[in-house]
A and B are shown apart, each in its own frame.
Chain A
Amino acid sequence: MEVKIPTRAYSGAIRPITLGKGGKAFTVGGETAFPFYTFEGQMPNQPRFGLEVLDLEPSDWPATLLGAYGAVVKDPAAWAKKCVAELGADFVHLTLAGTNPNDQNLPVDHAVKVAKAVAAAVDVPLTVWGCGSAAKDAEVLKAVAEALSDRRLCIGPVVEENYRQVGAAALAYNHVVIASTPIDINLAKQLNVLLGNLGVKEDSILIDPTVGGLGYGLEYTYSVMERCRAAALTQQDDKLQYPMYCHLGVEVWKTKEAKLPGDADSALGDESKRGVLMEAVTAATLLAAGADVLVMRHPEAMRLSRELVKGLATG
């Protein structure tokens, strides 16, 4: 019996955005169809995977996660190097957790020093990510943008409260901004409009839709991402035609279920596999919704997710 496969006519495309500089730079985005719908459009650049490095030794990571790195977690530069050289990360995402005013409140100098050390240790694209306090991030990210002006960093989270300062710094030094909004398609669009008005170029924006982890709001992120992609590809919504950056490892590994101990026969199963699967399944779900750049924490979860992408893109 003849089966005629229906195909959509898409009217828009995701902008290709190049991250980093030199031989290890890469491009993400460029899709002309829904995620992995390669029977009706192109997905010229495969989604990319990075590992997260913290500026200070992690205090709340479970042993199953720390064990994947060993002693390097005390030294961000050595840690970043390991992520790339041994674990095969496409890029490194440095989170400046220590600058948080509600926690250690380390100064801008600290941030710049760590960011420079990490940048010197790796030649792959580098994301520098603030602590989430809009005011502090404005200061910190501005200084980092200037100190690493030759790297074409990704910097974020750029939010409505600090987009002027951080956006201007990114513009001045040709970095890519990660525009972060709280799981809302209209806010995502609005922030991109503001960044455009500020003069941030169309080749320098990524959307961070804000990730809810598996069992902790993933459904909201999933639908906002699907809607962003649909608006970008089928309604020519120009302000949403950017690749999506998903900072997911942190969301998975802060949940209690990812951290609880247990063996293969316990109710939540083997602790060495549970967190990894929760992270890899979160990644798979986000990939289905349109993730282009994924920040992960466990190298094994990254390996699994990458294997999935390989199968979907080339199989």
Chain B
Amino acid sequence: MGLTGIQIFQLLPKTNCKECGVPTCLAFAMNLAAGKAELKQCPYVSEAAKQKLAADSAPPIRTVEIGTGKGAFKVGGETVLFRHEKTFVNPAGLAMLLNDDEPEASVAGKLKRFKELSYERVGLTLKGNAVAVRAAKGDKAAFGALVTKVKAETEGGIILMAENPEVMAEGVKACADRKPLLYAATPDNADAMIALAKETKLPLAAKASDLEKLSALTDKLAAAGVQDIVIDPGSREIKKALHDEIHIRELSIQKKFRQLGYPTIVLPFEMTKDPMMETVYASMLLAKYAGIVVLSDFRGHNLFTLLLERLNVYTDPQRPMKTEQKVYEINNPGPGSPVLATSNFSLTYFIVSGEIENSRVPTYLAVLDTEGLSVLTAWAAGKFVGDALGGFIKKSGIADKLKSPTLVLPGAVAIISGDVEEELGSGWKVVVGPKEGAYIPAYLKQNFAQ
């Protein structure tokens, strides 16, 4: 929040009536500035002061919601420049372009992929967010028909791409109840687009050829009462596009520059004709601040890759990712397979399970809840120790599935093997495995290959 306690104090009644719970208006103002009080605790603030304070405390980048029901997604709302400062808020929306002059088979294939491509990972479902329908022909009927089809066949968000307001109106008519994003108002068509967006209360993208013109345009939109805005600074070269993204984020967060305090939309397919290069440009812009990324197509190879990157970039940087405590089956283990033990720090789990998969040796992987700590750190913290690990293995009942139960400890904690043996009893053989994940395949092949 930009206003200081003194500035806020100027807006208060200065009667020191104490109803807010502190002795003076000044003390209350200081608390407000520090985020320790809420404005509604003072019953006497004027309307004008309320508005001023509300505007000041609005987030630096507006959150815009597109779509409805299951297909709804939010973009914007970001508060920091770097993910190590604080978790990025709303993962960038990924949209698939669909032109109204594309052959029918191409449209059918794309819609099928849009619906079907989805991936389960660390308990999350990763998938694309929206279909961006573009009026390539400039023909009202063709555009309206394709939008109708997209609405009927998908649940996802819809982005209507048309610069002719009459064509746009046709698309809006077809899917207004699905809360599409209208792309885009430009300095040339702004009045008609504003009218359309206001009438339907739909989010509107603003597109101009540079940041100055874009700021003037969003000013106009905001003055006309359009609040849900997404911005496109028009840059179609990767260097300028990246710099614009950085400028927009820094201006809105550091300078509270309201005119650019909106999520952005980028179109990497307008920067290159090569779909591979397009994906690489998309990945750079996804890391650096894009709100919505429109791709020329969704294929498993580009979509999955960008979804993984998005997952990585938008993960909470403070909290270690944790995996569920349980015994995982890798490569179809049977009664003769070993049980490897590891911690539930996701990175450890991913590496160890990946190496086991690489080895192709059927194996059980027992993941102990160490509150997201790596094996060695967890051992040092008393969480990866004999009774905890032994207790978990016993409780899991895995021994019942095994002929001669063998537990393989991570090499780094060889020291606990005696305690684990004691805890598990004579039914188990406890051995010490390699110290690092990379050695697991060789180790498994040598000792447990069938």
Q: List 4 A-B pairs, minimum CB-CB distance, nearest first.
A: A269-B300, A269-B301, A315-B239, A102-B439
What 0/1 readout, one digit per residue, does chain B (57-101) give for beta carbons within 8 Å of chain A?
Answer: 000000000000000000000000011100000000000000000
**B interface, CB within 8 angstroms of A:** 82-84, 109, 113, 116-117, 119, 121, 211-213, 215-216, 219, 237-240, 242-243, 246-247, 250-251, 254-255, 257, 259-260, 276-277, 279-281, 283-284, 287-288, 299-306, 308-309, 311-313, 315, 317, 346-347, 350-351, 354-355, 357-358, 434, 436, 438-439, 441-443
- Given contacts A132-B438, A219-B312, A280 and B284 within 8 Å (CB-CB): no
Say whether A274 contacts B301, CB under 8 Å. yes
Chain A, residue nearest B374 (CB): A182
Stretch at the interface among A50-58, A114-122, A209-217: A209-217
Say whether A285 contacts B219, CB under 8 Å. no
Stretch at the interface among A77-85, A193-201, A306-314: A306-314
Measured between beta carbons, the chain A residues less than 8 angstroms from B354 are: 216, 254-256
A174 CB-CB contact with B under 8 Å: no
The CA-CA distance from A102 to B302 in the complex, in Å, is 36
Besides the known contacts A273-B299, A285-B309, A312-B239, 15 further A-B residue pairs in the complex with CB atoms under 8 A apart: A1-B215, A102-B442, A132-B436, A215-B308, A215-B350, A216-B354, A223-B83, A254-B354, A254-B358, A265-B109, A266-B300, A284-B287, A304-B280, A308-B284, A311-B239
Q: How many residues of A contact B (CB 8 A)?
A: 62
The CA-CA distance from A214 to B347 in the complex, in Å, is 11
Say whether A3 contacts B84, CB under 8 Å. no
The CA-CA distance from A313 to B300 in the complex, in Å, is 30
The CA-CA distance from A37 to B246 in the complex, in Å, is 8
Minimum CB–CB distance for A136 against chain B, Å: 12
Minimum CB–CB distance for B296 against chain A, Å: 14
Contact partner of A2 among B212, B247, B283, CB < 8 A? B212
What 0/1 readout, one digit per residue, does chain A (288-315) give for beta carbons within 8 Å of chain B?
Answer: 1100000000001000110110011111
Measured between beta carbons, the chain A residues less than 8 angstroms from B315 are: 219
The CA-CA distance from A288 to B251 in the complex, in Å, is 19
Say whether A100 contacts B251, CB under 8 Å. no
Measured between beta carbons, the chain A residues less than 8 angstroms from B350 are: 215-217
Say whether A214 contacts B303, CB under 8 Å. no
Minimum CB–CB distance for B173 against chain A, Å: 33
The CA-CA distance from A167 to B309 in the complex, in Å, is 35
A103 CB-CB contact with B under 8 Å: yes
Contact partner of B260 among A3, A217, A313, CB < 8 A? A3
Say whether B443 contacts A102, CB under 8 Å. yes
Say whether B304 contacts A281, CB under 8 Å. no
Say whether A3 contacts B212, CB under 8 Å. yes
Measured between beta carbons, the chain B residues less than 8 angstroms from A289 are: 287
Say whether B284 contacts A277, CB under 8 Å. no
Say whether A214 contacts B117, CB under 8 Å. no
A287 CB-CB contact with B under 8 Å: yes
The CA-CA distance from A315 to B277 in the complex, in Å, is 15
- Given contacts A36-B242, A270-B299, A308-B238, A3 and B82 within 8 Å (CB-CB): no
The CA-CA distance from A227 to B306 in the complex, in Å, is 23
The CA-CA distance from A131 to B290 in the complex, in Å, is 39
Chain B, residue nearest A313 (CB): B239
Say whether B347 contacts A216, CB under 8 Å. yes
Which has the most chain B C-beta neighbours within 10 Å: A256, A257, A266, A311?
Answer: A311
